[in-house]
Amino acid sequence: DQQVKQNSPSLSVQEGRISILNCDYTNSMFDYFLWYKKYPAEGPTFLISISSIKDKNEDGRFTVFLNKSAKHLSLHIVPSQPGDSAVYFCAASVGTGNQFYFGTGTSLTVIP
Amino acid sequence: ETGVTQTPRHLVMGMTNKKSLKCEQHLGHNAMYWYKQSAKKPLELMFVYSLEERVENNSVPSRFSPECPNSSHLFLHLHTLQPEDSALYLCASSQVLGAPGNTIYFGEGSWLTVV
């Protein structure tokens, strides 16, 4: 049973516009959420995270929003750049647990 | 450079071969992980080690055998694999296990093809 879901396998956005990547989860015990970025033939690179005590975390062009009642998080990239083209994974964990649960990824293409 | 190094990056092996994947982390972390990524599937956790002790084994077939000789090194020994085991194998590490705000950092992966 997949506890973290990314329902959009792909997304195309024009350079300079906003990219919004979405992630849903089912386990209300999750208290920490992460986004990773993956280029082809490389491992995932940590991008940004958010604790369940917050609803927003911002780092430069990247902002993650958390809606606990909807069990939904999103990653906003503004402005989008061609170098942002990659697969983005969201992940979730329970603070006291040993596991991170990953979505299947969304492939973002930023069109110059 | 993520601080987690995996070798080899690419491996082709026959079903009767024995090979090993190696992972080394230079981050001073205490926990290390093996994940498997197959096409169109989420990352699957295989094994977790904390301070060289295995704490998680997610129903992984015995043809995959992990080894953690110290907190900086992790191996995955492969024996009599099947073609469906072909995948990207990712090593990761984190500072600790089971702590709030724990973040894992991945290596670049080892692409395994079983023929």
Half-sphere exposure of A3 (CA within 13 A, CB side): 15
B49 vs A42: CA distance, rounded Å = 23
Q: Kindly list the residues from chain A whose CB atom is less than 8 angstroms away from the CB atom of residue B106.
A: 36, 43-46
For A18-30, letters b (16+ CB in 10 Å) and e give ebbbbbbbeeeeb
Q: Residues A52, A66: contact at Cβ < 8 Å?
A: yes
The 10 Å Cβ neighbour count of residue A44 is 30
Cis peptide bond prior to A44, omega within 30° of 0: no
Strand partners, B104: B94
B19 vs A29: CA distance, rounded Å = 39
- Residue A67: the pLDDT is 97
- Residue A19: the pLDDT is 98
Parallel, antiparallel or unpaired: strands A10-14 and A106-111 = parallel
A60 vs A55: CA distance, rounded Å = 17
Tokens at B64, concatenated: 């995959």
Please give the span between the terminal C-alpha atoms of chain A, in angstroms, as a whole number.
Answer: 38
CB contact under 8 A, B103 and A34: yes
Q: Kindly list the residues from chain A whose CB atom is less than 8 angstroms away from the CB atom of residue B50.
A: 98
3-state secondary structure of A84: helix
Q: Does A26 touch chain B (CB under 8 A)?
A: no
Q: Residues A38, A105: contact at Cβ < 8 Å?
A: yes
Show the CA angle centred on residue A4, arms to residues A14 and B28, nearest 5°.
Answer: 90
- Residue B1: the pLDDT is 64
A98 closest CB neighbour out of B41, B98, B107? B98
- Residue A56: the pLDDT is 97
> Which residue, among A100, A101, A104, would best test binding to B if mutated, counting the most B CBs under 10 Å from its CB?
A100
CB contact under 8 A, B42 and A44: no
Q: Does A2 touch chain B (CB under 8 A)?
A: yes
Average pLDDT for consecutive 10-residue bins of chain A (112 residues)?
A: 91 98 96 93 91 96 97 98 96 82 95 96
* pLDDT tens-digit series, residues B33-62: 999 998 878 889 999 998 888 887 778 999
A104 closest CB neighbour out of B42, B100, B108? B42
- Residue B58: the pLDDT is 73
* pLDDT tens-digit series, residues B1-41: 679 999 999 999 998 889 999 999 999 999 999 999 988 78
State the nearest Cα–Cα gap between B47 and chain A, in angstroms: 10
A30 vs A107: CA distance, rounded Å = 24
B100 closest CB neighbour out of A34, A95, A102? A95
B13 vs B34: CA distance, rounded Å = 19
